[in-house]
Structure 1
Amino acid sequence: MKKNILFVISNDNIGGPQKSLLALLERLDYTLFNIDVMILNPSGNLKELFPKEVNVLKADKLLTAFTMPSDSIFYTLGVFLKELKIRQFILALKAMFNYKIKKRPMNQERQKFWVENSKHLEQSDKNYDFAFGILGLSTYYVVDCVNAEKKYHWIRSDSRMLNRDVGIENYYFKKIDGALSVSQECESIFNDMYPYMNGRTKVFYNYLPLSFYDSFSDNTVLSKDSINLITVARLDPLKGLDLAIKACKLLVDKGYEIKWYVLGDGKGRKEIEKMIEEYSLQEVMILFGFKLNTLQYIKQTDIFVHPSRAEGKSNAVDEAKYAGVPIVVTNYPTVKEQIDNEYNGLIAQFDEVDLSNKIERLIKDKELAKTLGQNSINEQNEVVDPNSFLCSL
């Protein structure tokens, strides 16, 4: 008999976690599983790329409003008014006041709102063997609203960096059957924070959605008249684009003819554009915006730079390793699970001088750059069969 599995994800914008889910869905044997995907904030395009066997459950407007998406707070308030949810309208206003005026973390305000109001949400009318929560309040939805034999949280990042209310997290994590982690380091951090999860957390590495990349190639060709660097990241302070801009300026001042392409978008775009202008790098540091086929661009560059301050297990770094492009990363806590310094990449400290020095080293030492890239290709991990893994849970 087929197993019924539900994946719940906070949104279907195409970022790293969404690509990983897509890659997993591409590898599943649909003679073994019936797969549903619930998207709490269905405003993106990911659902159009799922295999035809996947049943997409679209959240209604009220459920989406209960998650309080940060990019559509006025929409949220409008939904509450239209549905005559006056109490929720007032509590949402209070959460926004606490965030905007009192400078309290929005993640925590969102958690508190959910705890106070989730009892008003409808229960899922389907029974599942497994249900997985991915990102945001997805695990909370799984715990509160889903009937499943086993419920799992999916650890996508360094849990210390999420700035969430640990008391509320504890309340929910004590109600789940286990957790999956994208890396051993993320598993260790998570278990240190929530010791009762020891023995109930398993590592399940990301896949790259290769068939997805094949479907979305374009004709963009990067100029070969300069040294091409690339960063693939959400435009967010955690991703370290400020370090990249400062490092770029140091390299330009030394006379290097470089183009530094940045693939990604986000709420920090205006600040980054302003900083690029302040450093007079408009012709050097190019914000390409969001691109579906990031791998296509990575393959055309000379050096991949990942200046992040926090990661789980970076999809972008895995893409660069797959492409055999030499890598420079910053020394965020989980980096050593993907990069062995001096073997398949160079690890820089969190300052623009060391970051620029590591990049300069690869510009000067072509043999080292070639060796790092080849080592990445040679060490491609054996892929775990997801069908066997899910059946073993």
Structure 2
Amino acid sequence: MRRKKKILIIMHSMHIGGAERALLGMLSAFDFERYQVDLFLSEHNGELMKYIPREIHLLPEIPRYSYFTKPFSLTVRKREFKMAYVKLRTRLACKAYTKKSNGAVADATIYAQRFALPYLPPINPNVEYDLAISYRTPHYLAIEKVRAKKTLAWIHTDYTKVTIDIATEHYMWSKFDYIASISDECSKGFLSVFPELKEKLVLFEHVIQPSIICDMADEFVPNEIDQNSDVITICSIGRFVPAKNFTSIPKICRVLLESGLKVKWYLIGFGEEESEIIRQIETLRMEKNIIILGKKENPYPYIKACDIYAQPSLYEGRSVAVIEAQILKKPVVISNYPTATSQLRNGINGLILPLDTEQFANKLVKVICDQDTLRQLSQNADCDITTEFDQMRVFDRLIEGDFYDH
């Protein structure tokens, strides 16, 4: 009998987010006759924990790993002095980087994980894995705290749009056997910063399972969504962070209303910019037209209930929410962020609108008024969706070690 290949996947937690939903898709798509899949989470926390497939072996939480996200005061109170030291050292490293880089803000997590390595116990040390996968940056744990024959790390963002400590990240990335990119445009962005790592790069798009999404979309009909036929309903999903650009939505919505359209725009998500979004809504008197729904474990009934899905981001890796909206046959409009052309085919299965807020709004008015275009976008929405089987075949080859064989 053929031995099952042992795979370990490392992730921070299972809070609501695009990467987390994409991970669930991949976990569900494994052939468990061939693979034994272990999952290590730094924290057993998050709304999506309950969706982890039962075939996945969830490793026990190691308490010290959970302190990456805990406040300094709590860390000291719990007498985790080594992790408190890591937090202080991280703070100093970030300040030094900002000073050296003319005000650029460093990613604290990459310093924190690197500085913590001497104080962290190994992960499941009695097992040697055929492949260890680090699903979200920073990626030090997979290369320093796991026994594995091969290692793989994931890129989820556009490296032309993020501030990084290049030397620190290069050291981290260069340790991996493979680096998985979620789109061609993400690959280009990454290679513009790290061209010497080209041979490690493999294209591996998000594993999305259309049947699961469609089933979950039918679980209930959300009563929050206005069902009046003369009201255009728009949905946007994402963390309330600068990259998603949700602070522009009140201004866009005002242009739609001033053009004579009846609109309600629903925002699903949470994050640091929520208070600013609310302030913009109140300033522009959009309270009746923009509704913040907050976190939703199952966002699909809301996407299904709305007329249009919109993503006005400043940058993306490859938006999981956009793919999910396409699966649900929604007309999708996105902003012209650098990786937009790898997200959809403009005019075929979605529309790419200008990054500029006013231009985005004016174009969106025309789209909403063009029923033929909306109908066509809906019909073609899922025409380029890659099945989970296609993606897992790529993964099979990678695990078996013949990815680069011709």
Q: 1:310 aligns with which of 315, 318, 321?
A: 315
TM superposition shift of 1:33:
0.6
Partner of 1:128: 129
Tell me, yes or no, if structure 1 residue 323 matches structure 2 residue 338: no
The amino acid across from 1:255 in the alignment is: G
Partner of 1:246: 251
Residues 133-152 of structure 1: CA deviation (Å, up to 9, x unaligned)? 11132x21101101100011
Contact persistence 1:329–1:347 (CA under 8 A): yes
What TM-score comes out, normalization by structure 2 length?
0.88
Partner of 1:141: 141
- In 1, Cα distance between equivalents of 2:76 and 2:395: 38
Q: 1:259 aligns with which of 260, 264, 276?
A: 264
Q: 1:82 aligns with which of 78, 83, 87?
A: 78
Residues 87-126 of structure 1: CA deviation (Å, up to 9, x unaligned)? x424413544776997977753332233233122112312
Contact persistence 2:94–2:106 (CA under 8 A): no
TM superposition shift of 1:343:
2.1
- Residues 227-306 of structure 1: matches in 2 within 5 Å? 227-306=232-311
CA RMSD of aligned residues (A): 2.3
Residues 193-224 of structure 1: CA deviation (Å, up to 9, x unaligned)? 22232122111111224426635733314222
Partner of 1:15: 17
Partner of 1:224: 227
Q: 2:30 aligns with which of 8, 28, 31?
A: 28
- In 1, Cα distance between equivalents of 2:393 and 2:332: 33
Contact persistence 1:235–1:267 (CA under 8 A): yes
State the aligned residue count.
385
- Residues 95-134 of structure 1: matches in 2 within 5 Å? 95-96=90-91, 107-124=106-123, 125=125, 126-134=127-135
- In 2, Cα distance between equivalents of 1:97 and 1:389: 42
SS at match of 1:196: helix
368-377 or 311-320, larger mean C-alpha shift: 368-377
- In 2, Cα distance between equivalents of 1:382 and 1:89: 45
Contact persistence 1:344–1:375 (CA under 8 A): yes
Given the superposition, is the C-alpha separation of residues 215 and 360 from structure 1 closer, same or farther in structure 2, using an over 3 Å criterion?
closer
Given the superposition, is the C-alpha separation of residues 355 and 387 from structure 1 closer, same or farther in structure 2, using an over 3 Å criterion?
closer
5+ residue gaps, structure 1: none
- In 2, Cα distance between equivalents of 1:382 and 1:135: 22
SS at match of 2:381: helix
- In 2, Cα distance between equivalents of 1:109 and 1:275: 29
TM superposition shift of 1:269:
1.1
- In 1, Cα distance between equivalents of 2:382 and 2:324: 11
5+ residue gaps, structure 2: 399-406
TM superposition shift of 1:324:
1.9
Contact persistence 1:241–1:272 (CA under 8 A): yes
Given the superposition, is the C-alpha separation of residues 302 and 45 from structure 1 closer, same or farther in structure 2, using an over 3 Å criterion?
closer
- In 2, Cα distance between equivalents of 1:100 and 1:167: 16
Given the superposition, is the C-alpha separation of residues 368 and 391 from structure 1 closer, same or farther in structure 2, using an over 3 Å criterion?
closer
TM superposition shift of 1:274:
1.3
- In 1, Cα distance between equivalents of 2:235 and 2:80: 49
- In 2, Cα distance between equivalents of 1:105 and 1:49: 38
- In 2, Cα distance between equivalents of 1:326 and 1:213: 16
Partner of 1:93: 88
Contact persistence 1:47–1:56 (CA under 8 A): no
Contact persistence 1:229–1:258 (CA under 8 A): yes
Contact persistence 1:264–1:290 (CA under 8 A): yes
The amino acid across from 2:33 in the alignment is: T
SS at match of 2:12: strand
Contact persistence 1:99–1:105 (CA under 8 A): no
TM superposition shift of 1:233:
1.4
Partner of 1:197: 197
Residues 168-212 of structure 1: CA deviation (Å, up to 9, x unaligned)? 111111111011111111112212222232122111111224426
Given the superposition, is the C-alpha separation of residues 215 and 317 from structure 1 closer, same or farther in structure 2, using an over 3 Å criterion?
closer
Contact persistence 1:303–1:327 (CA under 8 A): yes
SS at match of 1:151: strand
What TM-score comes out, normalization by structure 1 length?
0.91
- In 2, Cα distance between equivalents of 1:277 and 1:100: 35
